[in-house]
């Protein structure tokens, strides 16, 4: 995968893209990163990339010219679909399912804005996707794009040490992940559930599935509406709902 980032503050990405899993992903040639300062495409001697909004109003708006020129400068293989992703609070809320969808692409371009907003023509004629981390506003798109890049790259082949790890992540199955424990089995009187020490992998897997469902029921009921539940899971939910009402 090739990932390009267009930002006014490219130095923000140095630590994130060259540490931990992102560093390993590049070493394994699963992904390559390039971060470009789109101020270099301003077309004026003052390197100005924003201007006042037509019609008046507070703040400044990112101009269309530098972002169009920056995207057009990238080496884009016309035979492959390039996803040009605009980070903004008005975009589609990012989910694990979206991460899985993007991980199947070969080229992603992230546009990280600042100021009050973007010239609307960027949305209409340049980008393919608009994404948001949630219902809050950040100073710019850099931090949001870092989070999305991390969640996408870790899904690529040969990136995580255990190929099963992303399969069992929270949200990958539509539910939150089950509780995890490690040594010691007894820490200050706080003990690991006996089932995890039993060695019975069938019972352990059943316990994990039930705990995953229970945790989702207790913390994120909204996820249950879309989760593909088995008949057994549906019976458990019915039982818990009945107890909850009582």
Q: Is 53 a catalytic residue?
A: no
**Which ranges in the chain belong to alpha helices (H)?**
14-17, 20-27, 64-73, 96-102, 120-125, 142-153, 201-219, 231-245
Q: Is 121 a catalytic residue?
A: no
User: ∠ CA(175), CA(178), CA(184), 5° rounding?
Assistant: 165
User: Does 135 count as an annotated binding residue?
Assistant: yes
Strand order in the sheet with 82-93: 32-37, 2-7, 107-111, 82-93, 129-132
Least Cα distance to 129 among 87, 190, 191 occurs for 87
Which residue among 4, 37, 50, 154 is the active-site one? Answer: 154
CA dist., res. 135 & res. 238, Å (int): 31
Token couple for 100: 């899985």
Q: Is 116 a catalytic residue?
A: yes
User: Does 134 count as an annotated binding residue?
Assistant: yes
Which residue among 65, 100, 105, 116 is the active-site one? Answer: 116
User: Does 137 count as an annotated binding residue?
Assistant: yes
User: Which one-letter DSSP state was computed for residue 70?
Assistant: H
Q: Is 154 a catalytic residue?
A: yes
Which residue among 89, 150, 210, 215 is the active-site one? Answer: 89
Which residue among 100, 150, 169, 177 is the active-site one? Answer: 169
Which residues contribute to the annotated binding site?
113, 133-138
Which residues contribute to the annotated binding site for S-adenosyl-L-methionine?
113, 133-138
Catalytic positions are: 89, 116, 154, 169
């Amino acid at each position: 995968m090739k990932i390009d980032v267009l930002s006014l503050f490219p130095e923000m990405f140095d630590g994130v893209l060259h540490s931990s899993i992102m560093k390993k992903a590049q070493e394994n040639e699963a992904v390559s990163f390039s971060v470009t300062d789109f101020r270099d495409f301003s077309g004026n001697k003052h390197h100005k990339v924003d201007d006042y909004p037509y019609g008046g109003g507070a703040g400044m708006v990112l101009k269309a010219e530098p972002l169009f020129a920056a995207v057009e400068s990238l080496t884009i293989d016309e035979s492959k679909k390039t996803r040009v992703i605009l980070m903004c609070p008005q975009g589609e809320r990012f989910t694990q399912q979206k991460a899985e969808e993007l991980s199947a692409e070969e080229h992603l371009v992230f546009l990280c804005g600042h100021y009050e907003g973007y010239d609307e023509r960027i949305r209409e004629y340049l980008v393919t996707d608009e994404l948001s981390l949630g219902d809050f506003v950040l100073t710019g798109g850099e931090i949001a794009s870092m989070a999305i890049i991390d969640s996408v790259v870790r899904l690529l082949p040969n990136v995580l040490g255990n190929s099963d790890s992303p399969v069992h992540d929270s949200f990958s199955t539509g539910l939150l992940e089950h509780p995890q424990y490690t040594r010691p089995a007894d820490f200050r009187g706080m003990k690991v559930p006996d089932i995890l020490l039993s060695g019975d992998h069938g019972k352990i897997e059943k316990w994990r599935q039930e705990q995953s469902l229970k945790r989702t029921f207790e913390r994120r009921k909204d996820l249950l509406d879309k989760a593909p539940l088995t008949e057994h899971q549906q019976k458990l939910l019915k039982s818990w709902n009945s107890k909850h009402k009582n």
